[in-house]
Amino acid sequence: GDLYARTGQNKEAVEYYLKIADNYRRHNDIVKAIAMYKKTQKIDASNTDVCLRLAELYAHQQHNVEAKQQYNIVLEAYKREGKTKQVIKIMKTISDLDPEDINLRVEIARSYKDENMNNEAKEIFSSLGETLISKDRINEGIYSFQQALALDYNYKPAFKGLVQAYAQNNEIDKAFGMLKDVLSKYPQDVEYLDILGSVYLKAKTPEQAEATFSYLYQVDKAYYTKILDVARLFLEKGQVDQAVTVIDYCLEYLLELKEEGLATAILTDILKLNASHMQALRRLGYIYMSTQKTNNLISTLKLFVQAALSQGNKPEAFMALQQLLTLEPNEEAKAQLVNLKEDDPSVDDSIAKDPLLQTFNPLTTSVNADTPAPQEETKKVTRSSTRTSALLAGMASQNPEIMDGQIKLLEEMVVTYPEYIEARVKLKNSYMERGLKEKAAEQFLTLGKMYETQGNKELAREMLTEGYKLSILTGGVTTAPTSADASPLSRTGAFNRATGTHSVAPAQPPATAKGRISSLSGAFQKTPTTPAVGFPGSFNRSSADISSRLLTNKVLKKEWKRACRYSRLIALIIVKVDDFASYLETFGEEMAENCFKKIADTFTSELNRPGDELITYSGEGFAVVLPETPSEGAAVVAERLRVCVEGLSISHVHVNQWVTVNFGVASSAPARNSTPDELIEIACAAQTQAAIGGGNQVVIL
């Protein structure tokens, strides 16, 4: 091998080196094998087989950094060769070496999705969601779970993850909206009921949580931990009697498991609030009696005597004193017993007449009468549907606002995934059930256009007909919609950010009013495309400068290529600070730089969807790249960013007294081998119209 290498016969040299390296590898001499592969790599650096073998050996030695380097060489080679499946396989291997690389896992999931490998994609998105939630990146985790459910709405791990994430994020109405939908179909599903109970706990409604988990405890005693969570919640709300009663569900089971300390801790906390709480003392004494902890039992008996006497309960005090004297004879207890009998000679008789009156026998369990006992398997099944309905109704009656949870969730889904037909159908049905006919009409019309695009003329006709009927009744849209085949850049209309729909309207001139775009039910002005030559020369120079900068930007180039390859949408937002030149002149360079940085930091924190990227292209402007996003969805993002900047309340002497920004929005589904020149030009034109119109607004072209 060395002789061949010296004479420049590299192919032959590699052949001999590989024989030696493979031999070392077979004999498990890893160090020598690595050395020989590296020797081979110096001669033939592009040999992917050598890189793969080196990567595997490094991984075997747990040298993960070196292994990743070799795998990345192979990855880039496969990308150049267009070997998509091999690319995904190598990315998966790298991810296994470094599970903390979130961006790589996002890329893997998106690659699976692009290849229509939906089962693999949903698993990665769901797993990624769990990781993000564990890192307290809640919004990103929610988005990942949504991505998984968009591929398969019945995928239970993602469903559970999203509901729990909503609950963790205090979006209880959304969590409940999802559960209401699924439990109406699967009322006996223990996992979904478990999630429901957890949402009740998060919503601080212990009565509903008690009803849920007391039922589940009958199904599986492992739910004793949730029963104790309910008791803690009652205690937190100051309902100590209910807290004690809930402990009774699982007290005997805790003693059986030798986990009585869990109950003892709660009972002790109750006594800190009320040292004379006899029911808490009764359970605590029973635990100590059952576990033969004599010293603790004696202390509890003394407290019980004091509590009973303070409440005038002489028979209970008398019995406790008798037990105390049995365990620890002392003159003080004897004297108390004598005094009790002298004060009330009938105290002995009252005890004899009531055999249930025993100091440390816990009261009969307070499980609801309709809760099925463990042996009543047949009754359990027949009652579960009714019980679930009652639980849901109970939650709704206590919190009326959660009835809108399902609608809010579906609205969010159709904004994020405008082509998700199943979500639109459910949203349309929900609007009809709530009597929101105008909103339902919008969804009917949108669905009609979508079905028309798919070639399903029968469903399209049905949706459009129903939509027009409702529109006429509600005084809404009365003109025929533009054909689904028409270019989206040639239409005007009002965009409802809450539902992700357009209402058709005649063409209107560009928006010129300053200030906010009205939220939720307001309209973004969609203007016809205007040639750049119509604007002042300063714009032409600025636009050309922006275009040249963005065309060389790696992020935009990467996402554009992906959009071309898989025929996906890509949106671009061009952002400029209103009258920034005068701000710089008034306040100086240092403050201008701080102002720009505050805006950049705000944008970065708001762009929390994996894949969304912020680009700084000049001292007064930004660009935002949003993969797989229509212009309407990008406008929602732009409006959110606009409001955030306005909320910073940065003083400005010339623009509304506060620093504001304007946005130009455009979206495209590019053809293969195209470039983003036109998209950049359109977004720049929209931004200029926003600036000319007075700034502090969003314009879509």
Choose the most confident range, by mean pLDDT, from 103-117, 259-273, 485-499, 608-622.
Answer: 259-273
Check pLDDT > 60 for residue 393. Answer: no
Inform me whether the pLDDT recorded for 392 exceeds 90.
no
As for how many domains the chain has, the answer is 1
Predicted pLDDT of residue 368:
33
pLDDT at position 370 is 34
User: Has residue 326 been placed in a domain?
Assistant: no
**Residue 505 included in any domain:** no
Q: Is residue 558 part of a domain?
A: yes
For residue 605, what is the domain's CATH number?
3.30.70.270
**Global pTM value:** 0.49
Concatenated DSSP letters of 390-408: HHHHHHHHH-GGGGGHHHH
Please determine, for residue 154, whether its predicted confidence score (pLDDT) is greater than 90.
Answer: no
Q: How confident is the model at residue 662 (pLDDT cuts 50, 70, 90)?
A: very high
- In this prediction, residue 390 has a pLDDT band, given cuts at 50, 70 and 90, of low
When the pLDDT of each residue in the chain is averaged and rounded to a whole number, the result is: 77
Domain membership of residue 184 (yes or no) is no
**Residue 328 is assigned to a structural domain of this protein:** no
pLDDT of residue 543: 56
Q: For 551-568, what is the mean pLDDT?
A: 81
- 237-251, 523-537, 637-651, range with the lowest pLDDT: 523-537
Can you give the pLDDT at residue 378? 34
Maximum pairwise Cα distance, the chain: 119
Over range 98-118, report the average pLDDT.
Answer: 87
State the residue range of the domain holding 693: 532-700
* Number of helices (H), then strands (E), in the chain: 33, 7
Beta bridge partners, 502, equal: 495
The SS3 assignment for 41 reads helix
Would you state the pLDDT for residue 474? 58
Whether residue 570 is contained in a domain is answered as yes
Domain annotation covers residue 342 = no
Per-residue pLDDT for 261 more than 50?
yes
Amino acid in the structure at residue 517: I
* Distance separating alpha carbons of residues 153 and 145, to the nearest angstrom: 10
Q: Say whether pLDDT at 47 is over 80.
A: yes
Mean pLDDT of 469-477: 57
The two three-digit tokens of residue 620, written as one number? 């007064």
For residue 555, count other CB atoms closer than 10 A to its CB.
15
pLDDT of 593 above 90: no
Q: 114-128, 156-170, 432-446, 514-528: lowest mean pLDDT where? A: 514-528
Burial 229-252 (b: 16+ CB within 10 A, else e): bbbbbbbeeebbebbbbbbbbbbe
Q: pLDDT category, 20, cuts 50, 70, 90?
A: very high
* Of 184 and 238, the one with more pLDDT: 238
Is 696 among the domain residues? yes
Q: Are 29 and 45 in contact (CB under 8 A)?
A: no
CA 694/CA 472 separation, integer angstroms: 36
**Greater model confidence, 495 or 232:** 232
| Mean per-residue pLDDT, 376-388 | 44
Q: Which residues contact 61 (CB under 8 A, 6 or more apart)?
A: 30, 34
Within 10 angstroms of residue 475's Cβ, the number of other Cβ atoms is 8
pLDDT in tens, 353-380: 433 334 454 433 333 333 333 333 333 3
- The three-state secondary structure class of 80 is helix
Q: What are the tens digits of pLDDT across the range 188-232?
A: 788 888 888 888 898 888 888 888 888 888 888 999 999 999 999
Highest mean pLDDT among 396-410, 478-492, 542-556: 542-556
pLDDT at 97: 87
Q: How confident is the model at residue 389 (pLDDT cuts 50, 70, 90)?
A: low
- Of 32-41, 51-60, 534-543, 573-582, the range with the lowest mean pLDDT is 534-543
